[in-house]
Amino acid sequence: MPHLINVLRGFLMGSADVVPGVSGGTIALVLGIYERLIHAIRTGAGALGALVRGRFADALGRAKEVEWRFLVPLLAGIGLAIVSLAALIEHFLDEEPTNTAAVFLGLVAASIVVAWQLIKDWTGPRLATAATVAVAAFLILGLRSEELTDPTTALFFGAGAIAIVAMILPGISGSFILLMLGMYEAVLAAVNDRDLVVIAVFGFGAVVGLALFSTLLDRMLRDHHDTMMAGLIGLMAGSLRVLWPWPDGTDTANLGSPTDPVAPVLLAIAGFAVVMVIGQLGKRSAD
């Protein structure tokens, strides 16, 4: 049963990672497993680093410290979601962009509430950190890049390294980073077409990105937890820009006036409620 629960957690994270504007890290935070996940990734990155340097005994020792019973089912769920839902998410983004954006707007808004509750001591500097990061994220996420045609192997590698960092940060969507890099359609097409070479190159880039970033993130969460969480809350707040349903919260960052708001508002409320329920369940199952 614990393995099935972790597969389900991973499936929810992977489902979010497919959507521009929503982060799998946000889902991990809501489920109460975010810090556990980052620690497991950091330990695995340490083993990988020792292996690359030829320190095989050290690598084996570090690998034994990795919480594989937690990490492997989680990664399996993420992969299953990406492979099975890529085409469906692509359909909804194309056919129902407003309603899709509204659902995830409610999801991320509720995630901010969940994360806010994790900070024990809100000080002036931490509030300033959250506000500054929110404004910076809001401005940065307004940037766009034209989709690249026929990207090279090196671009797929680099996109994987950059996007994976966003995928594990609450509030920063790896899919949206791919949009900014002009690589989203190419990567999604590779997944839908089962292009194993491209997927492998992208995945290797993701492994390298995790190895370089996870240690720093784990240390920050351990030594400066509340300040780091305040920054993550700012990221999530700023990311709401790309989920604004009008005129199209999935393909543009331009904010427009609401049109026919009843259905989107109801869907946003439903998304908000679902996340609050998941957050409560996550607190109970985190251990």
pLDDT for residue 250: 45
pLDDT in tens, 127-169: 999 999 999 888 877 766 556 677 888 989 998 888 887 777 7
Q: What is the pLDDT of residue 77?
A: 92
31, 34, 37, 42 alpha-carbon torsion, rounded to 10°: 180
Place of tokens 């049963």: 1
Q: How far apart are alpha carbons 86 and 15 in whole angstroms?
A: 8
Q: Which residues of the chain have pLDDT under 50?
A: 249-252, 286-287
pLDDT on residue 22? 65
b/e per residue 90-117 (b: at least 16 CB within 10 A): bebbeeebbbbbbbbbbbbbbbbebbee
Q: Three-state SS string across the chain, please?
A: CHHHHHHHHHHHHHHHHCCCCCCHHHHHHHCCCHHHHHHHHHHHHHHHHHHHCCCHHHHHHHHHHCCHHHHHHHHHHHHHHHHHHHHHHHHHHHHCHHHHHHHHHHHHHHHHHHHHCCCCCCCHHHHHHHHHHHHHHHHHCCCCCCCCCCCCHHHHHHHHHHHHHHHCCCCCCHHHHHHHHCCHHHHHHHHHCCCHHHHHHHHHHHHHHHHHHHHHHHHHHHHCHHHHHHHHHHHHHHHHHHHCCCCCCCCCCCCCCCCCCHHHHHHHHHHHHHHHHHHHHHHHHCC
Residue extents of the structural domains in the chain: 2-282
* pLDDT, tens digit, 9 for 90 and up, residues 19-56: 665 677 878 887 888 888 888 888 887 887 788 778 88
pTM: 0.65
Rg (CA), the chain: 18
What does the pLDDT read at residue 169?
75
Q: Which string of b and e fits 170-198 if b means at least 16 CB within 10 Å?
A: bbbbbbbbbbbbbbbebbbebbeeebeeb
